[in-house]
Structure 1
Amino acid sequence: MTWTVDEQLALTATEAIAAIQSGRLKAADYVATLLARAASLESLNALTTLDLDGALAAARRIDALPAAALAQLPLAGLPIVVKDNINTVGLQTSAGTPALEGFIPKANAPSVQRLIDAGAIVLGKANMHELAFGITSTNLATHAGPVRNPYDPTRIPGGSSGGTAAAIAARIVPAGLGTDTGGSTRIPAALTGIAGFRPSVGNGGAERRYHDPDAVVPISHTRDTVGPMARTVADIALLDGVITGSGALPDIALSGLRVGLPAPLWEGLERQVDDIARDALRRLEAAGVVFVPVAMRELDHLNGMVGGPIAIHEALDDVRAWLVANDAPVKTVAELAARIASPDVRAIYDGVLGDVLAVQYDDALNLWRPRLRAYMAATFADERLDALLFPTTRLAAAPIDDVYGSSFVSVDGGEPIDTMDAFLRNTDPASTSGIPGLSLPAGMTPGGLPVGLELDGPLGEDRRLLAIGVAFEQLLGVLPAPTL
């Protein structure tokens, strides 16, 4: 079979793997097509590193396997990108910051290694908001530069996993890995029209779904996690299954599902976001989903007492530990911070170096976070909810601020709001409480910008949450490709 370029670019991860395993598509041909796509869309600045020789060599090794061996690889020949703060052998892990530029780790992060062992091919490393401390992926042009949204290159793709999202949305790859501390897989997924997943973290120990110790340039060991991103929820479920060794998704029927609508996360939305989200609700309700309004009036307060102190305080020790464990070219956080390029990240690291929230940290971790976790668990249990549902972000993609990186936005002409606060508001509670969250496309604004819906589930119910996401996606559909 002869595949056109457009046919190859349109393949989802699941479709591409099936075509390669059946012999209908050569992995080397597919990788070559995607490498050419990446080169032609260099202006999006989605990637920091492109591994032309390595990716093609890996694809040829896949093509040389006998059919029986190919069938045993669940990700046979699947090209992916990996966020530039996740350790990869032979490819830099710079976290988008000058002090780590060109640094090559000695081992792959476990999540990356499991995907490679299953047949995935790392096409390259994805650009990101510097040191993952931001939600715009707008970096100073003199260094990593801003990642651009494929649906409108004058706008942000979200962050901090903006490069992974932009590469997937632009059809450079069908899937990839990001990381999520407060919303960094889900926000860019929403703003670029793809799906993004934050797996359960829970207490950070036995409740943690993905285990990548010392293998990701960190912010917070309590909050950080690797997370898969793809154009479909089914593809995310595939990657999640490989990383965790999970079996098939459970069967889910829309009729009778009880889904909570948390009032605080439906307030203060941009009108066009609200319109698209409520249209999705009407379609889901017509299919039998039962929506349950939940007040959750303590959510903002509890979440506010947890998130900032943990992230700002833990970054100091966690980044230092990563630098030492990985024999990085700089050994202290002060050395790293001295070379930060982006003004918004430099301002945050002033707080990290000063440990300005140390006094609040113990209460945040040991008092307020347990209360928040109990509050979330009680909401699911008391209301007999299968999931919570709300718009992933309050507004669609904002214009790029290439001077500061992240400043202020306005919702429908209202008072200016800090950009990070505005976009994190809805995603942060899942992060601080450690429960799984999934963003999937809901539709597009009249101006052609994607809007996402987030599903949050009870702790440890990741596969069931993904199954609900697949069922929602089958009804709501996927978005058309951007015109590039």
Structure 2
Amino acid sequence: MTWTVDAQLALSATQAVEALQSGRLKAADYVATLLARAAALTQLNALTTLDFHGALAAAQRIDALPPAERARLPLCGLPIVVKDNINTAGLPTTAGTPALAGFVPTTSAPSVQRLVDAGAVVLGKANMHELAFGITSTNLSAHAGPVRNPYDPSLMPGGSSGGTAVAIAARIAPAGLGTDTGGSTRIPAALTGTAGLRPSVGNGGAERRYHDPNAVVPISHTRDTVGPMARSVADLALLDGVITGDGALPEIALDGLRIGLPAPLWDALERQVEDVARAALHKLEAAGVTFVPVAMTELEYLNGMVGGPLAIHEARDDVLAWLVANQAPVQTVADLAVRIASPDVRAIYDDVLADVLGSHYSAALNYWRPRLQNYVAATFANAGLDALLFPTTRLVAVPIDDLNGSSTVTIDGGPPIDTMEAFLRNTDPASTSGIPGLSLPAGISASGLPVGLELDGPLGSDRRLLAIGVAIEQVLGALPAPVL
């Protein structure tokens, strides 16, 4: 079979694997097509490293395998991108910050290694908000630059995993890995018309779905996790199953599902976001979903008592542990911080080094977080809910702010709101409580930009949540690709 470039670019991860396993598509041809796509779209700043020779060599090794061996590889020849804060052997892991610009780890994070062992081919490293401490991916480091939204390159794509999302949306890669501390897989997924999963973290240990100790440049060990990103929920399920070893998704019918609509996360939305989200609800109601309004009046207060102290206090010790464990070019957080290029991240690291929220940390971790977790768990149990559903972000993508990477936004002409606060409001509760969260495309707004819906599920319900997401995306459909 002869594959046109357009046909290759249109492949989902699942479709690509089927074609590669069967030998209908050569891995080397597919990888060459995507490398050429990446080289042609450098203006988007989606990638910090493109591994031409390594990716082609890996693809050629896949093609040389006997057909039976190819058929046994769950990700046979699948090209992926990996966020630049996740250790990837032989490729730079810089976290988008100058002090780490020359660092190349010798081993990969377990999540990356499991994908590679299953046959995935790493095309390169994806750009990001510097040190993952932001939600715009406006990176002012000279080796990175601001990531641009493929639906409108004057707009930001969300962050901090913006490069992974843009590479997937722009058809540079069908799938990849990001990380999520407060919304960093889900926010860019929503703003670029793609899908992103934040897997369960819980209290760590056995409750943590992905285990990548000292293999990701961190913010908070309590909140951080690697997460898969792709153009469909079915593709997320493929990657998640490889990373965790889980099998097929459970059978889910929309008819009879009880899904909660948390009032605080539907409040004060941009009108065009609410219009798309409400239209999606009508389609899902017609498919048999029962929507249950839930007040959750304490959600924002409890979440506010937890998130900041965990991230700001834990960052200093966690980053130091990564620097030391990885024999990084700098060995102190102060030496890392002094070279930060983005003013918004530099300001955050001033707070980290001063431990400005240290006095609140113990209460946040040991009192407020358990209260939040119990409150969220009780909401699912008392209302008999399969999931919560709400717009992933309150507004669509906004213009890139080259001055400092994060300032203020307005919603339908209202008062200015801190950009990070505005975009984190709906994603942060899943992060702070440790439950799984999934963003999937809901539709295109009146201004022609993607809108995402988030599904949150009870702790440990990741595969069921993905199955619900697959059923929902079959009703809502895929978004049109950006015109590039």
What's the counterpart of residue 62 of structure 1?
Answer: 62
What's the counterpart of residue 124 of structure 2?
Answer: 124
| Aligned-partner Cα distance in 1 for 2:222–2:347 | 22
Q: Write the letter of the residue equivalent to 2:198.
A: R
| Aligned-partner Cα distance in 2 for 1:186–1:320 | 27
What's the counterpart of residue 435 of structure 1?
Answer: 435
What's the counterpart of residue 411 of structure 2?
Answer: 411
What's the counterpart of residue 300 of structure 2?
Answer: 300
| Aligned-partner Cα distance in 2 for 1:108–1:79 | 16
- Listed as ranges, the matches of 1:63-102 within 5 Å are 63-102=63-102
Q: Gaps (5+ residues) in structure 2?
A: none
In the TM superposition, what is the alpha-carbon distance from 1:205 to its structure 2 partner?
A: 1.3
What's the counterpart of residue 482 of structure 2?
Answer: 482
Q: Write the letter of the residue equivalent to 1:444.
A: I
What's the counterpart of residue 349 of structure 1?
Answer: 349
Structure 1 contact 140–403 (Cα < 8 Å) conserved: no
Structure 2 contact 96–141 (Cα < 8 Å) conserved: no
| Aligned-partner Cα distance in 1 for 2:90–2:321 | 22
Structure 2 contact 130–141 (Cα < 8 Å) conserved: no
Aligned-pair Cα RMSD in Å:
0.5
In the TM superposition, what is the alpha-carbon distance from 1:273 to its structure 2 partner?
A: 0.2
SS for the counterpart of 2:207 is coil
Structure 1 contact 118–242 (Cα < 8 Å) conserved: yes
What's the counterpart of residue 147 of structure 1?
Answer: 147
In the TM superposition, what is the alpha-carbon distance from 1:140 to its structure 2 partner?
A: 1.4
Deviations 1:181-238 (A, max 9, x none): 0000000000000000000000011100000000000000000000000001000000
What's the counterpart of residue 396 of structure 1?
Answer: 396
- Listed as ranges, the matches of 1:202-217 within 5 Å are 202-217=202-217
Structure 1 contact 306–368 (Cα < 8 Å) conserved: yes
Q: Gaps (5+ residues) in structure 1?
A: none
Q: Write the letter of the residue equivalent to 1:111.
A: S
| Aligned-partner Cα distance in 2 for 1:64–1:447 | 47
Deviations 1:363-398 (A, max 9, x none): 000000000000000000000000000000000001
In the TM superposition, what is the alpha-carbon distance from 1:279 to its structure 2 partner?
A: 0.3
What's the counterpart of residue 220 of structure 1?
Answer: 220
| Aligned-partner Cα distance in 1 for 2:90–2:141 | 25
In the TM superposition, what is the alpha-carbon distance from 1:142 to its structure 2 partner?
A: 3.4
| Aligned-partner Cα distance in 2 for 1:143–1:35 | 19
| Aligned-partner Cα distance in 2 for 1:303–1:227 | 21
What's the counterpart of residue 256 of structure 1?
Answer: 256
What's the counterpart of residue 421 of structure 1?
Answer: 421
What's the counterpart of residue 373 of structure 2?
Answer: 373
Greater displacement, 124-133 / 439-448 = 439-448
- Count residues in correspondence: 484
In the TM superposition, what is the alpha-carbon distance from 1:35 to its structure 2 partner?
A: 0.2
| Aligned-partner Cα distance in 1 for 2:102–2:250 | 43
Deviations 1:223-268 (A, max 9, x none): 0000000001000000000000001000000001000000000001
Structure 2 contact 266–391 (Cα < 8 Å) conserved: yes
- Listed as ranges, the matches of 1:382-393 within 5 Å are 382-393=382-393
Structure 1 contact 223–431 (Cα < 8 Å) conserved: yes
Q: Write the letter of the residue equivalent to 1:36.
A: A
Deviations 1:271-308 (A, max 9, x none): 00000000000000011100000000000000000000
Deviations 1:431-482 (A, max 9, x none): 0000000000000112210000000000000000000000000000010110
Q: Write the letter of the residue equivalent to 2:117.
A: D
Q: Write the letter of the residue equivalent to 1:396.
A: V
| Aligned-partner Cα distance in 2 for 1:122–1:297 | 44
| Aligned-partner Cα distance in 2 for 1:52–1:321 | 32
SS for the counterpart of 2:125 is strand
SS for the counterpart of 1:91 is coil
Overall identity of the aligned pairs, in %: 81
The 1:214–1:264 alpha-carbon spacing in structure 2 relative to 1, beyond 3 Å, is same
| Aligned-partner Cα distance in 2 for 1:465–1:141 | 37
| Aligned-partner Cα distance in 2 for 1:333–1:399 | 31
| Aligned-partner Cα distance in 1 for 2:412–2:192 | 20
In the TM superposition, what is the alpha-carbon distance from 1:143 to its structure 2 partner?
A: 4.2
What's the counterpart of residue 470 of structure 1?
Answer: 470
| Aligned-partner Cα distance in 1 for 2:308–2:79 | 36
Structure 2 contact 101–143 (Cα < 8 Å) conserved: no
Q: TM-score normalised to the size of structure 2?
A: 1.00
SS for the counterpart of 2:274 is helix
What's the counterpart of residue 199 of structure 2?
Answer: 199
What's the counterpart of residue 161 of structure 1?
Answer: 161
| Aligned-partner Cα distance in 2 for 1:406–1:478 | 30
Structure 2 contact 196–440 (Cα < 8 Å) conserved: yes
What's the counterpart of residue 321 of structure 1?
Answer: 321
SS for the counterpart of 1:398 is coil
What's the counterpart of residue 459 of structure 2?
Answer: 459
Deviations 1:343-375 (A, max 9, x none): 000000000000000000000000000000000
The reply to whether residue 174 of structure 1 matches residue 199 of structure 2 is no
Q: Write the letter of the residue equivalent to 1:402.
A: D
| Aligned-partner Cα distance in 2 for 1:367–1:279 | 39
What's the counterpart of residue 312 of structure 2?
Answer: 312
| Aligned-partner Cα distance in 1 for 2:294–2:472 | 20
| Aligned-partner Cα distance in 1 for 2:446–2:133 | 31
| Aligned-partner Cα distance in 2 for 1:167–1:402 | 21
What's the counterpart of residue 189 of structure 1?
Answer: 189
What's the counterpart of residue 52 of structure 1?
Answer: 52
Q: Write the letter of the residue equivalent to 1:47.
A: L
What's the counterpart of residue 339 of structure 2?
Answer: 339
| Aligned-partner Cα distance in 1 for 2:99–2:141 | 16
SS for the counterpart of 1:206 is helix
SS for the counterpart of 2:124 is strand
SS for the counterpart of 2:205 is coil
Deviations 1:390-438 (A, max 9, x none): 0000000010001110100000010000000000000000000000000
Moved runs in structure 1, 4+ residues, more than 4 A? none
| Aligned-partner Cα distance in 2 for 1:446–1:40 | 29
The reply to whether residue 5 of structure 1 matches residue 5 of structure 2 is yes
| Aligned-partner Cα distance in 2 for 1:202–1:106 | 30
Q: Write the letter of the residue equivalent to 1:410.
A: T
Q: TM-score normalised to the size of structure 1?
A: 1.00
